[in-house]
Amino acid sequence: MDPHCKREWRRWRLGQWGWLAWLLALMACSGQPESPETEIRTFVAQAQAAAEERNARKLRALIAENYVDAQGHDHKAIENLIRLHIFRNQSVHVLTRIHQIEFPEPERALLIVMAALAGRPVASADELAGLHADLYRFDLELVRRGRDDWQVHHAAWEPAALADFW
């Protein structure tokens, strides 16, 4: 048993809240870290949820302070684009498709994400054909900030075609 786990075991026997400390320690000792790919998929899901909630604060937190892109946007410019999009759209529903995830370095990920932005819920790509939605391809570079915290360091986007979602 890991020395940290042994120490938590002793604490369990001594404290009146020992059962809770023991349970938390056991969870911390036995939990397997997520794979980097799972972390990236979680990042995309968090971005999608924040966009649908129209939560500018959560979306801004996903952008690195040193963000820069080929159009000359920096962190502040992206914050302004987020605010503008939220202001213009009272209802945002997002359908995402991750096409590619690569890890050129352990602390850096490159991914291609297709995103459909619509005014009503979209459950599948099949529904996009009869729906007015803005379709985009995002080429993202993420950097790891902390143990499992990723942020967008660079992004490029362009209109996507309906066929890109299959």
Domains of the chain, residue spans: 1-31, 36-165
What kind of fold does domain 36-165 have according to CATH? Answer: Nuclear Transport Factor 2; Chain: A, (3.10.450)
Are 56 and 86 spatial neighbours (Cβ–Cβ below 8 Å)? yes
Are 62 and 53 spatial neighbours (Cβ–Cβ below 8 Å)? no
Residue-level pLDDT at 27: 41
Residue-level pLDDT at 52: 94
Residue-level pLDDT at 65: 95
Q: Which parts of the chain have pLDDT scores under 50?
A: 4-30
Contacts of 92 (CB under 8 A, 6+ apart): 51, 52, 54, 85, 86, 117, 118, 119
